[in-house]
Amino acid sequence: MRQLIAGNWKMFGKLADVPAYASAVLAAPTHVDLLVCPPFTLLDRFAAALKGSQVALGGQDCHANPQGAHTGDIAAPMLAEVGARYVILGHSERRNDHGEANAVIRAKTEAAMAAGLIPIVCVGETEAEREAGEAMQVVRSQLQHSLPAGFAGVAAYEPVWAIGTGRTPTETDITAMHADIRAALLAQLGEAGAKIQILYGGSVKPGNAASLLALPEVGGALVGGASLKAEDFLAIANAAPRG
């Protein structure tokens, strides 16, 4: 399966950044699926700039309802209308900044699927949980409670302590966690669990991408900081294994 290299711009970026970035990613390697998730304000401009290309767009969150009186929120059908194909859900920054619990993330995931979007559901332990030997248990519980029945999307393993810190788990730890996530997906979703791509996220950079993306059960990367510079993002995409 082709790897998915997803860029999460978080709360960065201006309209003026779009043209140069879009033309750079249009020259992306073709052996991966490339996805850009900019802030909502840039989606429409990006959609126009990437029209007809293989580069996909995504949102960074959506509401669980298709519309309604929810000031400041964005509905999944709105993302779809503007040209998004994916939406990141349950990112640890949403879980922390907005107190999003697994049940909320599950409802949002259902809403995304109903709107025809591909949800990317994030899970991952804190440093304290890892030190206490609870990483796998935490991740398993997040998967169990945030993925709805019939989940069709992408899972992203993002250890909270590796996000934006320049630190990553060891290759052995990532391999063990991704194997455990695969087992959990199979147990939860049956055969469909075999098809779910599992991304790794947390301090993926051009310098470590080749070794991280070559690990078993790593189906791509969710890239934060390094996705803001097109050159670094493309270097990561280029580092993904071919075939």
Report the alpha-carbon distance of residue 221 to residue 109 in Å, rounded.
Answer: 20
Asked if 134 is an active-site residue, the reply is no
In the complex, what is the shortest distance from the CB of residue 205 to ligand PGA, in angstroms, rounded to a whole number?
Answer: 8
Total residues contacting ligand PGA (rule CB under 6 A)?
13
Residues 151-190 as x/- pattern, contact with ligand PGA by CB under 6 A: -------x----xx--------------------------
Nearest to 240 by CA among 199, 196, 185: 199
Report the alpha-carbon distance of residue 2 to residue 7 in Å, rounded.
Answer: 16
Asked if 81 is an active-site residue, the reply is no
CB 63 within 8 A of CB 72: no
Q: Cβ closer to ligand PGA: 153 or 224?
A: 224
- Using CB under 6 A, pick the residue from 90, 148, 220, 225 that binds ligand PGA: 225
Report the alpha-carbon distance of residue 174 to residue 143 in Å, rounded.
Answer: 16
In the complex, what is the shortest distance from the CB of residue 8 to ligand PGA, in angstroms, rounded to a whole number?
Answer: 4
**Percent composition of the chain: helix, strand, coil (DSSP 3-state, to 5):** 45, 15, 35
Nearest to 158 by CA among 117, 214, 204, 193: 204
Q: Cβ closer to ligand PGA: 22 or 236?
A: 236
Binding site for ligand PGA (CB under 6 A): 8, 158, 163-164, 201-204, 222-226
Positions marked active-site: 91, 158
